[in-house]
Structure 1
């Protein structure tokens, strides 16, 4: 319910969206229950009507966004052999950036207490912390089969470098940086050009 007693549709998603905005504008230290509900425009206690505590809420947010990003990343290997290799990689990276998953991963590292709430999801495979790295690896291996990436290229290391670069750029430049995507494209291009067969 809102402060005026009007039901809020899909309150979980409204709170999740508000928490993302607070995270992006104030960083992990600014994520308080009051900041989130104020951003959502709802009563302060609403968050705790749906979640036991803030860490439980943040873990649920992480799982929600990770699920969305994983669905987007899962399509990447199927693109092998079509389009542009760097373009395909950047579309997948955009999935991570648009879903703020990298920022949320940083939040999980800044608040280790969240990880204890993710235990079941980690144990049963619902949450795979290396999902994006594995998707990049699968895609690059598929491109090796198409001959668009050298057969002897280390796909796993290239995938790790892509994910690591995205994390580093996000942490040092911030998600709203105007040059974040350009710098990431340059990085991906440099990595891929080194393992692309010359025509």
Structure 2
């Protein structure tokens, strides 16, 4: 219910969206219960009625967004052998950025208290912190089979480098930096060109 007693449709989604906006605009330190509910336009107690405490809420936000990003990343391997390898990888990286999963990973590092709330999801496999890295690896292996990535390429290391570069650029420049896309594309192109078979 809102402060005026009017039911709010899909309260959890509204709170998640509000927290995500605050995270992107002001960083992890801005994520207080009062700030989130104010951004969502609802009563402060609403968050605690649904989640108990702020860390439980933030863990639930992380799981929700990770699930969305994971589902989007499953389509990457299907693109092997089509389009340009760099374009396919950049589309996947932009999917992660658009889903703000990289920013949420930064939140987990800034607030380790939420990691304990993620323990059950980690234990039962619901949450896979390396899901994007593994998706890149599977895609690059498929491209090796198509002859578009050298067979001697260490695709696991390339995948780790891609994820690490995306995290670094996002955390140091912010999600709205003008050169974020160009820097990530240059990095991706450099990595892939080094392991593209010579014609």
Instruction: Give your verdict on TM over 0.5.
Output: yes
The offset of 1:198, in angstroms, is 2.3
Alignment-derived partner of residue 121 in structure 1:
121
Alignment-derived partner of residue 131 in structure 2:
131
Question: Moved runs in structure 1, 4+ residues, more than 2 A?
Answer: none
Q: Give the unaligned 5+ runs of structure 1.
A: none
Alignment-derived partner of residue 43 in structure 1:
43
Q: Give the unaligned 5+ runs of structure 2.
A: none
- The correspondence of residues 70-149 of structure 1 with structure 2, limited to 5 A, is 70-149=70-149
* CA deviation vs aligned residue, 1:107-157 (integer Å, no higher than 9, x gap): 111111101101110001000000000000000000000000001001000
Q: How many residues align?
A: 199
For 2:87 and 2:113, the matched residues in 1 are separated by: 37
SS of match in other structure, 1:45: helix
For 1:78 and 1:133, the matched residues in 2 are separated by: 16
Alignment-derived partner of residue 60 in structure 1:
60
For 1:114 and 1:56, the matched residues in 2 are separated by: 7
SS of match in other structure, 2:71: helix
> TM-score normalized by structure 1?
0.98
Alignment-derived partner of residue 191 in structure 2:
191
**Residue 160 (structure 1) aligned with residue 160 (structure 2):** yes
* CA deviation vs aligned residue, 1:20-79 (integer Å, no higher than 9, x gap): 011111111111001101111111111011011000000000000000000011111111
